[in-house]
Chains A and B, each alone.
Chain A
Amino acid sequence: MGIPGSGLAKGLAVTMRTMMRKTVTAQYPDVQPDLPPRTRGVIALLEENCTVCMLCARECPDWCIYIDSHKETLPAADPNARARTRNVLDRFAIDFSLCMYCGICVEVCPFDALFWSPEFEYAETDIRELTHERERLREWMWTVPPPPAHDPAAEEPKEIAMARKAADKLAAAAAAAAAAAAEAATAEEGGES
């Protein structure tokens, strides 16, 4: 305990120090928050990439993704070939009143059609307005930030590492071939003289 009253003085020092420090208040509507990359604000849809594989709708834990589609038959390019069919998206909607922002749909999408956007100001006064149809989801796409750069100390991405390995191997082979050719040439010269 020490000197009597030292605890009281310590208390005064704490409040004084807090007063001197910067406050932690976020003045939200006036100052936009500084959001981290990969913020989960709203899900955007790049419908050009969507193949209506339904993976997102099936994996969604609370079934908040609604997808309608129909099949379209493309005329055969070649008289001997069969006519091809493909899926056409009719409706893609996410009900954000049900969504729990788990991000599984974004993870499972095999064709990069779903993205996280950091926008979060889409509150509505009517709960039905929270079901965003495909046009709205497509609009969110413009707010998706580019993916953040890799950590400087991070491991190289697999694709680049493999490509580099192959390129290194090729370069080594080429160098070896050049060296062999040069040696052969010197040997020939030596033989002549």
Chain B
Amino acid sequence: MNLLDTLLRCVGTLVAFLVLPLVVGQTEHKVMAHMQGRLGPMYAGGFHGWAQLVADGVKFVQKENVVPAGADRRVFQLAPAVALLPYLLVLLVIPVGPDGMVGQVVDAGIFFVLAVMGIGVLGSLMAGWASANKFSLLGALRTAAQLMSYELPMLLAAASVAMAAGTVSLPGIVDAFHWWWVPWQLIGAFVFFTAGLAELQRPPFDMPVADSEIIFGAFTEYTGLRFALFLLSEYAGIVVLCGLTTVLFLGGWHGPFEDDLGWLWTLVKTFALAFVVLWLRVTYPRLREDQLMRFAWTVLIPLALAQLALTGIIKVAIS
């Protein structure tokens, strides 16, 4: 019985991991197109191009898998997996609904999640270093620099929520959530979400993959399925980031009929945030490297510290 339960949770997480990023990707196609006055894919699958990403996947599989002659073969081939798998692990511990509707309860949930998400960046670093290509290397080092600056505000913002809830377990945080946490932790939510975007290298923080200057950053030398895995890891990252923001700042499964429809609330909130991610991508141009760094160190970190102080003061006042 216990084995069956474990198996069921693993399969459920895997299915979510394979389906949700594709849904986000398809939504990106459509939302971006409509925001630019276009229709986007219309043919694949018959109805409004719903199978566009499936078609893309088939195309990627057919392509030749090239490993450059000067590349560090093993590291080069391993990099996409290193980029992708951390998000699968994080997805496992994100609570979806009440009463243990989660892949695996981890007591130190926030620590686990933030630590494992950091590994994803290692994937692009490995890719960039192993490619033996100057653009890849530039992209990888920009990724590293970006991670260094944005991991800190993200951690501080998460710490603020942990402080408010008095626990670092993700289901525990959602259990402790009250509606007035939203205004209380608003700054923290902004910092967490923005820093998360930067860590995923989503526009407007896509300096490391700036395709108009350094081709595609660390992924320049990748083709075929490995490149598709990098793309998939970006969308998986969006799902994970939005899921985490939902759990930490928007109350996860809380909402009307939360006992029956808790999982739906989590999904709805996650997708609303994913829409914001796409919206920001369409709206804003890319930040320059120095602007990127200045934003992290002079805006996000002070804001995160201010949020931490505010949380502490109110926590002491109400207890």
Chain A residues in the interface with B (C-beta under 8 A): 8, 11-12, 14-16, 18-19, 21, 23-25, 27
Contact = CB atoms under 8 A, between A and B. Distances in A.
A16 B279 CA distance: 8
B39 A15 contact: no
B257 interface: no
27 contacts: A8-B284, A11-B283, A11-B284, A12-B279, A12-B280, A12-B283, A14-B283, A15-B35, A15-B282, A16-B35, A16-B279, A18-B34, A18-B35, A18-B37, A19-B31, A19-B34, A19-B35, A21-B37, A23-B33, A23-B34, A23-B38, A23-B39, A24-B37, A24-B38, A25-B37, A25-B38, A25-B39
B6 interface: no
Contacts of A23: 33-34, 37-39
A27 B284 contact: no
Nearest to B33: A23
A15 to B, nearest CB: 4
A27 B282 CA distance: 23
Given A15-B283, A25-B38, A27-B39, 20 more contacts: A8-B284, A11-B284, A12-B279, A12-B280, A14-B283, A15-B279, A15-B282, A16-B35, A18-B35, A18-B36, A19-B31, A19-B34, A19-B35, A21-B37, A23-B33, A23-B34, A23-B37, A23-B39, A24-B37, A24-B38
- Interface SS of B by simple majority: helix
A191 to B, nearest CB: 88
Contact of A27 (B31, B37, B42, B279): B42
A19 B38 CA distance: 9
Contacts of A27: 39, 42
Contacts of B33: 23
- Interface SS of A by simple majority: helix
Among B33, B35, B279, max chain A CB count under 10 A is at B35
Contacts of B280: 12
Nearest to B282: A15
A24 B130 CA distance: 44
Among B33, B279, B283, max chain A CB count under 10 A is at B283
Closest 7 CB pairs of A and B: A25-B39, A15-B35, A19-B34, A19-B35, A15-B283, A11-B283, A24-B37
A14 B279 CA distance: 11
A136 B39 CA distance: 37
Contacts of A25: 37-39
Interface in B201-255: none
A125 to B, nearest CB: 23
A27 B42 CA distance: 9
A15 B34 CA distance: 9
Contacts of B283: 11-12, 14-15
B205 to A, nearest CB: 14
Interface string B28-47: 00010111111100100000
Among A12, A15, A16, A23, max chain B CB count under 10 A is at A15
Contacts of B34: 18-19, 23
A21 B33 CA distance: 12
A12 B284 CA distance: 8
Contacts of B37: 18, 21, 23-25
B45 to A, nearest CB: 15
B49 to A, nearest CB: 12
